[in-house]
Every structure is written in C-alpha cells, then in structure tokens.
Structure 1
Amino acid sequence: MSDNAHIDGAGTPASGPFYDLAAWATKAPEGESLISTAYGDKVQEDLAFVRSEPGVHKPDPILVADGVTRRFGGVTAVDVGHFEIERHGITALIGPNGAGKTTFFNLMTGFDRPQTGSWTFDGVELASVSPEKVARMGMVRTFQLTKVMSRLTVMENMLLGAPDQPGEGMFRALFPPLWRRREKAVMEKAESLLSRFLLDKKKDDYAGSLSGGQRKLLEMARA
C-alpha cells in the first residue's frame, strides 16, 4: 500500500500519550514500558475474538464506512459494503493496481465524493466535511507521490504542519510576545519528531535534497 492514513482519536486529550508520538521510543528505558507497546497490547486484546473476515465488526472502531460506492462512467472503482478500522490499530489495505485503494482513501478523507454510502470518523459523519476539516479532526493522509516543499528546509516543512500558530496572522505577527511561546513549543515538538523519524541530522537541509525514502519519512513526521 503506497498511501498512508494516520488515524487519531479526536476525543483524546491533546496532552495524552497517544498524541505525543515523539515519546514512542523504539526501546523502553530500564524499568519502563513503551507507550506504543501498551496500545498494541490493547488492540491485540480487543481483536482476540474478532473473526478474520472482511467487514467484521470490531470492539472499538474509529473509522466506519457503509455502502460506499464510487463509479467513473461505467467503471466501479469502489464498492464497499462495510468497513471498520480499530482505534489505535494498524490496518493494511492491499490489492493490485487499479483495485481502488487510493480512491477509497480519497473518499474517506474528503478529497473525493462517492455516489452512495455513509462513513464516520470517531462517531462524526464525514459526508459533507472538507479535507482540511477532516485533517483537523485527526485523520491525516499522505500521498503516493511525496509532497514536500523542496526549497524549504526539513525543519521548515515540519513547522508548516503545526496547527494553531498565532504568528501566522498579519496583525499578531507584529507582536512577538503573542506567538513566541507557541513557536517554541512547535519547534521542540518538531525536533523531537524528526529524531523519532531519524531525520534530526537533516533538519537544516533542503527537503529537495532528501532521498525518496527520507521524503516519505518527512511526510509522515509532518502529518
């Protein structure tokens, strides 16, 4: 699967561990457990008695789609009876080229509209929600072709993804005390995430100088 969906629970407090992805170490300090392992264990426990078949209901789904179809002329690209993604889980959508995987992602995230069906994210109907609002709710996608800003540095690319930056407004930008604290917090989180994605040594390099794999990592970190 070339496209990637990052699915967070909009109802989880922003200060909760699920949002602090930078703290998800790959190796736990002595005497401590990993946040990521804890969520993995919970998902495994939740799904232990779920049947392995398409469209099966799950204990705690965060994304649910019903009767979603998308046709292009006489070609049916997507025809999904029922689909669920378990909260905190990792779900793979596989199939040959032309099977409709990317189209389905586009439908779920607001980049395209189906002919029929309904879908919800964390209990909220998304049928008429724009892509930017879907992203603000916590469902963010990357694309098959990387979309980095080549003439900006890796760090500048990261800062573009941060929400709620008061310094972006023309009037407030004239008064640094109104945005310096937020800017510092954004910088610290960006540096932590770049370290998590093994890009911290590249933070001052232009994004255009990164390899294809590094660009994909940058997209994931920015999302």
Structure 2
Amino acid sequence: MSERFLGGRVIVRQSETGFRAGLDAVMLAAAVPDCNGEVLELGAGAGTASLCLAARQAAVTVVGLEIDPELVALAGANAEANAIAGRVTFAAADIFDLPAAYRRSFNHVLCNPPFHGDEGQAAPDPAKARALQDGGRLAAWLEVGLKRTVSGGTFTAILRADRLGEALAALPERGVTIFPLWPKAGVAAKRVIVQARQGSRAPLVVAAGLVLHRDDGTYTAEADAVLREGEGLEV
C-alpha cells in the first residue's frame, strides 16, 4: 500500500502488516536543520523520513540504516520511485553493531526509535514488535546517534513525551532543545522532538513547540504547512 506525503511530493510504499510511518516521520524530517552534507538515519524502516528530508533539502545526501533486509529493499525501491535514489541510499545494519563504513561522523543524524520500552505485550508480528519496542534501550539509541554526529552538527529524535526523562538522562546537559508537539491547544504533548547540537555549551531550551490540531480535529495552518507544504520546523 502506497501513501503520499508532503502534498504528494513523496510517495512511500509501506508494509501491509508491519509498522507504518506517518506524521512522526514527517515532523522528524522537518526538524533537521538546513545543511549541505551527509545525513544519517538510524532505523529507517521503509524510508519515509529520509525521503521527506531529501525532498525538502535538495543539497543533502542521506544514508538510511535498517536492520530488516526486507524493509531495506522496500526503502530502496521507494527512493527509486521518487527519483532520488542518487541522493538517498539504504543499507542493512544493526545500529548497535555498525559496519566500518558507517562508523564515521555525519553532519546530522536523525532517528525515530521504537516508542515503547520493555513494557506491555509485544506485537505478534516480529518486524512490527521490533519497530515498536526497544527492550529498554532508548538510551543506547540516543548514544549511538550522538556518537555518529560531527562536532557542531545536530542529532534529532522524536519520542513519546513520557519517555523524555529517559532521554535527558542519556543526552548532554547542554546544547539540547525540547520541541513539544501538542495534539491541541491546552492538551498535554504526546510526542516531543529532541535535538542536541554536538559540543554546544548553550543551556537546555524548551521551545514553544507546535499545536497540531484545531478543536474540530483539522490540522492547524502551522502543522499543515509542515505536513503538506514541506516547510521546516524552527527547532
């Protein structure tokens, strides 16, 4: 099944039974600062975030790493279908045991790690379970991302808001911005974007964030600009 993102500029075929990327992947890609170099995505899945990033920023090249070979093939086919395979490539790799080719620094690193820890019952589909539950390794995901980020570069992740404490314990005390995604005005955030600038001495910042929906459930103009028009987030 194929889905359209950024107002139809990006078309992504996703697994019928496994985890399916959506709003979170688009918001993650929109949070990446404008840059001209190489970007690394950890846990790329079918490639939604990487493809949206490449569609938004014509000067970047993106490498997406994914442990599931079937998803790697699907992501590669999606890059071909969107005519950006020259700038976006995908490879099979365990982020906790990276091949030598990827044990280097990137201008920017992004990830949408599994949203759940080791709590709850795992999904019956193994691929979906792997995408949804990290076995309590959120800190390890963040540490890998930071390690692969060049000095002065940025590392960005989108997380469940109630796991922010775990994340902050693994991130530097300085150079971090928290950007909440509010479902509606006056409603507690369910997702947060966390961005760390490698080597920065700036104090931690909690940004105003973005309200996603109006009271009637439709997207706010600001959210619509990101999701359909391809605008970036000022994290």
TM-score w.r.t. the length of structure 2 is: 0.26
Larger radius of gyration: 1
Specify which structure has the higher proportion of helix. Answer: 1
TM-score w.r.t. the length of structure 1 is: 0.27
